Amino acid sequence: MNSVAKWEKYSSQIAAAKDMEQFLWRDFSFMVDYLALRFRTGDLTYRDLFVGEKIRQAFFEKDSSIDAQIERRRQIVESDARGLLALFRDKLSEHEHKDLEAELSEIARILTTRAARSVEVLLIGDCLFLDVTAFLAGPALEDGISMNPTLVSTRNPVELRSTLHQLGDRKFDLIFYSPFTYEFAPEYNRLMEWRQSACSTRAVHALSGSAIGNVIKTLDVLVDRFDGNIFVHNSIHIRRHDSSLKERVKNLLTWRVRRAGRRFINARLDEYIRHNHGINSGNLRLFNEMDLLRLHGETQLGKVFYDHDSRHPAAMGKWVSLRYRDLLAVQAHLLRKKLIVCDLDETLWQGAIGEGSVRHHIDRQRILKTLKSKGVLLAINSKNDPINVKWDGGVLHADDFVHSQINWDSKVTNIQRIAHHLNLKGKDFIFIDDRPDERAMVHMAMPEVHVLDATADRSWHLLDLWSQMLADEDGTDRTQLYKEKNAREDFLQSQLSAGEEEGERHLFEKLDLVVTLREAKKSDLKRAAELINRTNQFNTCASRVSMRDVSAFHGSEDHRILIIDCEDKFGTMGTVSVCVVRKKPDRVEIPVFVLSCRVFGYGIEKVVVNAAKRLARDLDLPLTGLCEESAYNEPSRTVYPENGFVQGGSAWHWRGDGPIEDPPWLKVQLQASP
């Protein structure tokens, strides 16, 4: 207690405590137990619980900055270590004392590690989430992730939905909703009472139907208000218990009605999720508790892991937290990546292909194939002789990779070549390799690249989870788009090498470039949001938007979303530019303007700017192009000065003077009237 006694969060409680012994028991003794159980059992779970409680202890709502939290954690663990080591100096052997010191040092390291990523998480449910956050906080930090949780725990469904509406303007990366766990649904919870063990199937369905009806109304709010991935738990309807005979009997008496209730609930929830995926972007996903039931059984899941007046985590919370940990890792480290760079030997197959036959890792290749189908690019980085590489018997083939570096050069050099060839940044990359030395060299040279161990099952599990969290592509083959881009650039280079000196116009005319300018339809909004959020280099304001933002633009009379589609002799490039134009009383603004790197250099951005100019001229208003510099958007910073805008403050202004002419080598088709 002394380590936090002077903090505002605790000082008033300590001053008001009438029974100090009872206060210490309620608020601090469980941490002593966790540390003791860590040594008694050897189970790292108790360290996780201890770390989780220390994180909660150091969190202040008034000052929740990560710097402040880490400093408070440091103060706590240093104070604890001084007190405990002094207390046990004469009570433990030298070896035992060193073990205690080492454990406290490891706890301090975890607690004061600065996470590389912070994830905003909304948790909707009861005390399951108190268990989960305690189990999860330490392991998440080990993954380089700081979880910032917001808990909504009211059991009143009307109040719950009102709270969610109030939170609707906040950005959450992940949302977890556990509507049936323990006592969160009072009607449904009645089936846990032994007095209900004889109730009819009709009565079970009535109680379950009332619960699922309220849950569906809440899910409607979540889907409408939030864009992050939403995971809703189905039901296994377990009872927490202390393994006593009395509790085992209650479990047996209520088993029939609980099973009937969960079958009814889960069928209705499955139906709702399938319907939801059919009518919107599909960000609602099932967290299937039945998987946990099959793996661990009802008795084990419901067993209280530790029982205390103020803490009673059950095994259910531990197993849920392990799955949440993986979902957080995907969200923080994988979800926004664009390219996986793969080693070959001992990564995509077992053995060295130049030294004999190999056995393809079909499961690994299938995961990568699924990721490719959802828009993730694949590339090869292998120390090998290219002539030896064969894909016979594999799921993947050479055409599945957008680029290959198969040689004996440094893998760092090869990744840099891949980045240059594809015009992508290292932060967009994942590198997976079986050799620790290769991974270490890439990590040291390019720390922005996320590195995965090909020999670790968890690496492939995370990639598989990533594939499940990605939405299906809209028919666009990104690998093919990049290959067509390469063919386009090779063609232009061949023309230059052949002595073409007629200039840019004549050269580009040979590409037969056709751009189609149109206003976004409702069916375009998902792709528009995706292009804005995936684009870094030509993104004038480093914009990031939600589907709600884009839908609001689309429904506003003062906004227009302009879309550019492009094609040439090598193929269809799809949607390559999105521009949001906003009408204000005294001007027209461009708050969002992105252009795909696939079409840099062809003058397509000029067509977009000209469309905005025509809109402003028709309204007899000046045009303002907003611009905010980021670490990556340097290619977009010249678009306004090169198109007749004059800088004023942090924006660029066009007063309506001069001709409006599109590049002559572009065939511009209008499906709108800007």
Per-residue model confidence (pLDDT) at position 475: 64
Residue of 329, 330, 307 whose CA lies nearest to 131: 307
**Please, which residues bridge with residue 134 across strands?**
none
CB 375 within 8 A of CB 340: no
d(CA 517, CA 564): 5
For the chain, which ranges sit under pLDDT 70?
Answer: 277-282, 473-475, 496-505, 672-674
CB 292 within 8 A of CB 319: yes
What is the pTM (predicted TM-score) of this model?
A: 0.84
d(CA 618, CA 446): 49
What residues contact residue 442 under an 8 Å CB cut-off, 6+ apart?
A: 411, 412, 415, 431, 433, 449, 451
Instruction: Report the amino acid identity of residue 607.
Output: V
DSSP secondary structure code for residue 215 in this structure: H
Q: Which domains does the chain have, with CATH numbers?
A: 1-113 (no CATH), 115-335 (3.40.50.1110), 339-469 (3.40.50.1000), 504-670 (3.40.630.30)
Per-residue model confidence (pLDDT) at position 505: 65
d(CA 379, CA 349): 15
**Please, which residues bridge with residue 566 across strands?**
515, 574
d(CA 223, CA 202): 31
d(CA 498, CA 221): 61
How many CB atoms lie under 10 A from the CB of residue 349? 22
Residue of 484, 482, 537 whose CA lies nearest to 512: 484
* Half-sphere exposure for 73 (CA within 13 Å, toward CB): 26
For 149-184, what is each residue's pLDDT tens digit?
899 999 999 999 999 999 988 889 999 999 998 888
d(CA 340, CA 378): 5
Question: Can you tell me whether residue 455 is helix, strand or coil?
Answer: coil
Per-residue model confidence (pLDDT) at position 595: 95
Q: Cα dist. 462→324, 326, 335, 450, 664 in Å?
A: 11, 6, 10, 13, 48
DSSP secondary structure code for residue 641 in this structure: G
d(CA 76, CA 29): 15
CA end-to-end span of the chain: 68
- Radius of gyration for the chain, computed over Cα atoms and rounded to the nearest angstrom: 29
Per-residue model confidence (pLDDT) at position 674: 45
Per-residue model confidence (pLDDT) at position 649: 83
Per-residue model confidence (pLDDT) at position 396: 96
Q: Are strands 403-407 and 284-287 parallel, antiparallel or unpaired?
A: unpaired
d(CA 321, CA 319): 5
Locate 440 and state its tokens: 């270490």
For 344-383, what is each residue's pLDDT tens digit?
999 999 999 988 889 999 999 999 999 999 999 999 999 9
